[in-house]
Structure 1
Amino acid sequence: MGIVYILRCADGTYYVGSTTDVSRRLEQHRAGMGATYTRRRLPVELVWMEEFARIDEAFAWEKRIQGWSHDKREAFMAGGIDAVLGWSKRHG
């Protein structure tokens, strides 16, 4: 099993990651032992996650979401994939 997750950082930005154990990974981020990005933007809050059958599927979604704008990530978290279908990089 794999999980892709989105954290909201203290500065309002989002961090996207993937893991097999979201509880452990979240504690690492909160303790400042996660990614450099989150370490500089504590505290962080888990705002979205999705489970996948395999970690490679979660990793593929992580990479996909990482390429999205802040607005597109927010629309996705609020309304799912249907909310962002048809968005382009120029959309927001």
Structure 2
Amino acid sequence: MGEHTVYILQCKDSTLYTGYTNDLDKRLRMHEEGKGAKYTRGRGPFTVVYIAVFPTKNEALQEEYRIKQLTRTQKNVLISSFTTGFVQP
């Protein structure tokens, strides 16, 4: 079974999309081909700005939900922590 991954994409219009997958490469291809989430259609190309891997699907889905509840500012702090190599628990 694949890894359980939560990711954030930055779309070409600078909006952020948060998603879950167990096959990140395949899911990113789907987004780029316009076959991913309805929200991302027509918003590519994308930049992956955050990735977190979890041992279980349940944990990953909980994190996806938590991130989706964050404000844009809070998401930017999370992304900043990820890109600098310092992620707060």
Q: TM-score, with normalisation over the residues of structure 1?
A: 0.82
Listed as ranges, the gaps of 5+ residues in structure 1 are 83-92
Percentage of pairs with the same residue: 35
Q: Superposition pairs for residues 7-86 of structure 1, below 5 Å?
A: 7-79=9-81, 80-81=87-88
* SS of residue paired to 2:75: helix
Aligned length: 82
For residues 72 and 50 of structure 2, what CA distance do their matches in structure 1 show? Answer: 14
Letter in 1 for 2:88: I
What residue identity is the alignment partner of 2:52? E
AA aligned to 2:33 is A
Counterpart CA distance in 2 for 1:64 and 1:3 is 14
> 2: CA distance between counterparts of 1:68 and 1:81?
15
User: SS state of the match for residue 4, structure 1?
Assistant: strand
**Structure 1 runs of 4+ with >6 Å offset:** none
Query: 1-side partners of 2:20 and 2:88: how far apart?
Result: 18
One-letter code aligned to 1:81: Q
